[in-house]
Amino acid sequence: MITKKDYDAMLIERHGQQVFDTLAKAHVGIAGLGGLGSNIAMMLARSGVGHLLLIDFDRVEPSNLNRQHYMVSHLGIPKSEALKDLILQANPFIHLDTRCMRITGENAPKLFKDCDLVCEAFDKPEAKAELVNSLLENCPGLPILSGSGMAGYGSSNTIRTEKVMKNLYLCGDRVSDIESVGTLMAPRVQICAAHEANMALRLLLGITEV
């Protein structure tokens, strides 16, 4: 077993005291815990982000196993619970607030009001647009990171991070959708998730350029 003191010492040795302290007090919201959200959450937890709010209404099913972080043992249980199980194996000392519920444009501002930033990690384009519009309208100053365009197995190098609006950062190739490409595969979904996670870390550490 590892103690909190040992775990913190490991992170401080890696990151330095200042980065450790900043990340440890950070609150990040993740909306949707599928291919993007489950991977973003794991990366931020391993990086030492202190508080994660994880929300998804869905349960783990076999079609998730090709790209989402879940295991066969999680089939049938809520993604929020499965992800909690996985994260605590990698970082037992993180503060997790997990909710199994549907996020709407209406409830999103209240759900995410205490977050330093929010990662949009939905699947459907209408849901992405509804969440992003709601947060940009109702939560001035709250940075939003969104994923758009990561289907298929096209070049890794077309996936990028762009600051497209005052408080909106977009990660993806912006065109490859499930409807036209027909498939979602682990590598490009995880590349896109990593773009969101890295931009989240940069923003938390005070860097706003992409």
Partner 1 sequence: MKVNGEIVTLTEPVSLKEFLEKSGYSTGRIAVERNGDIVPKQTYDAIMLTEADTLEIVHFVGGG
Angle at 193 between CA 144 and CA 134, to 5 degrees: 25
Q: Give the number of other Cβ atoms within 10 Å of residue 197's Cβ.
A: 27
Q: In angstroms, how far apart are the furthest CA atoms of the chain?
A: 49
Stretch that binds partner 1, among 10-18, 42-50, 78-86, 160-168 (CB under 8 A): 160-168
Stretch that binds partner 1, among 73-81, 90-98, 168-176, 197-205 (CB under 8 A): 168-176
CB of 206 vs partner 1, minimal distance in Å: 22
The answer to the question of residue 123 lying near partner 1 (CB under 8 A) is yes
The answer to the question of residue 142 lying near partner 1 (CB under 8 A) is no
Contact 131, 110 (CB under 8 A): no
Partners of 120 in the beta sheet? 31, 146
Structure tokens at 163: 């600051």
The answer to the question of residue 151 lying near partner 1 (CB under 8 A) is yes
The answer to the question of residue 82 lying near partner 1 (CB under 8 A) is no
The answer to the question of residue 150 lying near partner 1 (CB under 8 A) is yes
CB of 21 vs partner 1, minimal distance in Å: 32
Long-range contacts of 197-200 (CB under 8 A, 24+ apart): 197/39, 197/40, 197/43, 197/44, 197/47, 197/119, 198/161, 199/145, 199/161, 199/169, 199/171, 200/28, 200/40, 200/44, 200/49, 200/117, 200/119, 200/145
The answer to the question of residue 41 lying near partner 1 (CB under 8 A) is no
The answer to the question of residue 29 lying near partner 1 (CB under 8 A) is no
The answer to the question of residue 50 lying near partner 1 (CB under 8 A) is no
CB of 37 vs partner 1, minimal distance in Å: 7
Residues in contact with partner 1 by the rule CB under 8 A: 32, 34-37, 121-126, 128-129, 132-133, 136-137, 146-151, 164-166, 168, 170, 172, 174-179, 181, 184, 189
